[in-house]
Amino acid sequence: MHEERIIVMNKIEKISLARIISDLITADSVIDAREMEIFGLVKEAYRLSDDCLCDARHVTFSEAVNTLRLMAKDEKEGLLDLFKKITLADGMCNKDEALLMIALCYSLEEEHDTEMIHVRVPQQGLQLENSQIIYVESEFAKEENKVISNNYHQIENAMRLAGFDFAYIPYIAKTYRGTPSQLFNEVLRFLSPNIDGLEAEEIQRKISSMTTSEFCKEQLCRKLHFKSLSDTMPSLLIKVGETVSEEKIHANFLKMDIGEDILSEIKQFIYKFTSMMNSEYSILRNIHNSTDKFLYCGVYKQILDLFLMKEEATSYILLDTVRQKITLPEINEELKITKSEKALYTLILAESISGGMNMNQPVSVRQIKLHEEKQRKLMAKYERIYDRFGGNKENTPNILDSSIRNPKISKINKCITNLSGKLSRIDDFLIQRTQDGLYRINLDSSMIYCNDDVATPWMQSDIWRNIISM
């Protein structure tokens, strides 16, 4: 590693770097000796500890990229060079590696207007494939839709030749409108025997008349919890891979904002993507519904599965330090707990990013000093959070004392459990202890927002990022 390329990083940035490098190395399902050699050099140069590598398992690729994209321009350029070197270490770059690299390039190169988002893959049989590019918008964009409509076949063919399945909702709805009603109804009842005739008719009506904005809000936002799509300009949504963390699968997406010059932007994207690969990639078949066939693959399968999927009652968490509240806006509920309990819940949310809050006593004398230093930092972090919720720093409760901490955790969990009638997957919101004895909240970080004048993903808040990195 060249000395000029070494970047001083904080804890979260190191964890993010470790996550990205891990995904790049394992993307092609083959770990090469040269990749291990480079990894060893990176680990030493950036001082990536074993704890850091373990913590990286709890962070998604999207979260990691969004963390690094806030760094300085020259630092991001150096990291991109490193990522390219790792990707090409074995002399090959397949489609899965290229997808990760295109996401890194578009996120870390400042001329692009993009963001990385991720969602937890639902356990209802829905498969989100890497080969789709979906056009999304929260409000109808007249000019962008006009360009796509007039050039749909050109766009669709270009993407198909590059190995992508282009999902343009108005065209898909039109295809469904041309499907014989009886065949449509029979297929729905076959795929989901528990729905009755009226439900099947309603699904058929909705899917045949859906608009892009309706699809984004009713299917992607409400069922898959793509909260950022509730208010988005015209964009392309591209799945670039998955992160597996504690048996949960998260799908990572690159959201690329587009303007009226959509054709040149798509052309540039396809050229950049295909030029990265030096191994073969598949060209998708061009197949459609017909009077005696119902297409159930690719984007058509995913959209139909979404309409058949039951909606879960859940909500993001809003850490509203302006009003000194923790709320769940989508179910119109508030956690009725004290300031110190709000601070403790928030602290454990923050510590869960790197695995959980460790209150275990050291087993060896040599570890005592390190443990005491970590406990001091944890208490300082709690004090900062307690202050943001309106607490007096001088009277900050000592949460290192189990006799003080445990009753607070019990009260917090009781308050959350009382929402069981309104909240699905309630275990994700509870404070739990892992097999390693860590206090942890399994809520996905994409579901945590803070109040910086407006609801903001808390990992995009400078104030909270500074606190979490303490």
Distance CA 99, CA 251 (A): 13
Cα dihedral 446, 447, 452, 455, rounded to 10, equals: 110
Quick: pLDDT tens for 180-232: 888 998 899 898 898 888 888 999 999 999 999 999 988 888 888 888 888 89
Backbone angles phi, psi at 358, to 5 degrees: -95, 115
Residue 117's DSSP bridge partners are 253
The C-alpha angle with vertex 293 and arms to 291 and 296, in degrees rounded to 5, equals 135
Task: Give, as one character, the DSSP assignment of residue 137.
Answer: -
Do residues 315 and 332 make contact, with C-beta atoms less than 8 angstroms apart? no
- Cross-sheet strand order for the sheet of 248-257: 114-120, 248-257, 235-245, 132-136, 165-167
Distance CA 64, CA 107 (A): 11
Do residues 432 and 438 make contact, with C-beta atoms less than 8 angstroms apart? no
Distance CA 319, CA 333 (A): 13
Alpha-helical segments (H) within 362-461: 366-388, 402-417
CB-based burial, 63-79: b 16+ in 10 Å, e otherwise: bbbbbbbebeeebbebb
Distance CA 110, CA 459 (A): 19
Distance CA 458, CA 217 (A): 22
Q: Tell me, what's the pLDDT at 123?
A: 56
Q: Tell me, what's the pLDDT at 462?
A: 84
SS3 state of residue 236? strand
Query: In the chain, which residues have pLDDT < 50?
Result: 2-4, 283
The domain locations on the chain are: 3-92, 118-308, 317-468
Overall size of the chain counted in residues: 470
Q: Tell me, what's the pLDDT at 155?
A: 94
Strands 438-441 and 448-452: unpaired
pTM for this model (two decimals): 0.79
Residue 282 in tokens: 């598949």
Count other C-beta atoms under 10 Å from residue 153's C-beta: 10
Distance CA 20, CA 56 (A): 9
Distance CA 81, CA 4 (A): 12
Distance CA 35, CA 66 (A): 24
**What is 263-289 written as a DSSP string?**
HHHHHHHHHHHHHH--S--PPPP----
Residue 239 in tokens: 């799945």
Distance CA 138, CA 230 (A): 6
Q: Tell me, what's the pLDDT at 172?
A: 92
Quick: pLDDT tens for 106-160: 999 988 878 898 888 765 556 677 778 999 999 999 999 999 999 999 999 999 8
Name the amino acid, one letter, at 468: I
Q: Tell me, what's the pLDDT at 281?
A: 52
Residue 108 in tokens: 């870390």
User: 49 CB contacts (<8 Å, ≥6 apart)?
Assistant: none
Distance CA 248, CA 427 (A): 13
Distance CA 37, CA 134 (A): 38
Distance CA 286, CA 359 (A): 57
User: 465 CB contacts (<8 Å, ≥6 apart)?
Assistant: 12, 70, 459
Strands 438-441 and 357-358: antiparallel
Alpha carbon 352 to chain centroid, angstroms:
15
Distance CA 335, CA 349 (A): 15
Do residues 56 and 18 make contact, with C-beta atoms less than 8 angstroms apart? yes
**What is 83-118 written as a DSSP string?**
HHHHHTTTS---HHHHHHHHHHHHHHSTTS-EEEEE
Count other C-beta atoms under 10 Å from residue 268's C-beta: 12
Do residues 240 and 228 make contact, with C-beta atoms less than 8 angstroms apart? no
